Structure 1
Amino acid sequence: MIIMSENVSVTVAGLRAWARDSYAEEAAVELLARSFGGRFVSTGWPWVQPCDRSGWFWLNPDAIWTGAGALSGGERRLLNVVAALIGGQPLTDLGGTLAGLDRQHLALVLAAFAHAGGSHEHAQMIMTADGQPSFERPGSLISWPAAVEAV
């Protein structure tokens, strides 16, 4: 379980409000909140910016690309995925990015990709026992890992 200060919890709530209804931005916020103990969602990082709307925050992809240089390789890789999801520059080496993540963070990135792709909203047609077509929602292709709780 991630334990965060009240301030970070408020920041995550503000980021989630900003990202609502954009699968890619929702995925980026969840990925950031669930990775590395949630430490990259603090307003102390240059990529977490206040919105005009009180209590809301947004993620600045350009600040991620320029402000993550002193972090570890795994941290930079994950932050680059976040930046790509919110409209920053494309990932130029997706294979290298994924190969450079540990298992826990790779699982989070895969869940983020599934969410960004809208798989949690997909519907599929099935045939009922009486031969009638029906639709069901099978859930996300790759769910957010249960072992890591979001802030």
Structure 2
Amino acid sequence: MVSPEVEAHTEQHHADLRFWAYGDRAREAATELLIRAFSGQFATPAYPWIVDGEYKPAVDFEAIEGNLQGLLKKERRLLVLAASIGRGGVRIDLGDVIPGLDRTLLDLVLAAVAHLGVEQHHSSNLLGGTDQQTAEPPPLHWWPA
């Protein structure tokens, strides 16, 4: 069981990462993948791609590809996908990456791709806001709970 202090710190860290990514659709989608996949394990400062930004923690998507040793195949697949979406210079073949993902991870990938392709007003959903002030259609695929 996680203590309330650790849980609050983790939630704040994730909020800080989301704040850093806000406004850049690719960074938002890739950062959200890191936060939501594998219980947020790969969005922690324990990994070299989580770095100190100017004011908040940030993700160095370019650092992911060179730091995958010792990880499970499905972890590596999700991480290179996040690096590719986050403009980390990683070129992937979706035909090689997608078949190795389970349903939970695939659901996250679908949400990331949908997020990447929708209009800017839907970014407020990641920061806890709403987009009820617009009559625009909802995202094609919501982020899973």
Give TM class, smaller chain: 0.7 to 0.9
Q: How much has 1:26 moved relative to structure 2?
A: 0.7
Q: How much has 1:96 moved relative to structure 2?
A: 1.3
Q: Are 1:119 and 1:141, in contact at CA under 8 Å, matched by a contact in 2?
A: no
Q: Are 1:114 and 1:141, in contact at CA under 8 Å, matched by a contact in 2?
A: yes
Q: Which runs of 5 or more structure 2 residues have no equivalent in the other structure?
A: 123-133
Aligned to 1:97: 97
Q: Distance in 2 between matches of 1:7 and 1:45?
A: 17
Aligned to 2:139: 140
Q: Distance in 1 between matches of 2:65 and 2:90?
A: 11
Between the two structures, name the one with larger relative contact order (CA 8 Å, sep ≥ 6): 1
Q: Which runs of 5 or more structure 1 residues have no equivalent in the other structure?
A: 123-134, 147-151
Extract structure 1 runs of 4+ deviating beyond 4 A: 119-122
TM-score w.r.t. the length of structure 2 is 0.81
5 Å matches for 1:33-72?
33-53=35-55, 56-72=56-72
Q: Are 2:50 and 2:59, in contact at CA under 8 Å, matched by a contact in 1?
A: yes
Q: How much has 1:24 moved relative to structure 2?
A: 1.1
RMSD of the alignment, in Å? Answer: 2.2
Q: Distance in 2 between matches of 1:101 and 1:36?
A: 12
Aligned to 1:6: 8
Structure number with greater Rg is 1
Aligned to 2:25: 23
Q: Distance in 1 between matches of 2:66 and 2:90?
A: 14
5 Å matches for 1:63-82?
63-82=63-82
Q: Considering fraction of residues, name the structure with more helix.
A: 2
Q: Percent identity?
A: 38
TM-score w.r.t. the length of structure 1 is 0.78
Q: How much has 1:120 moved relative to structure 2?
A: 7.2
Q: How much has 1:46 moved relative to structure 2?
A: 0.3
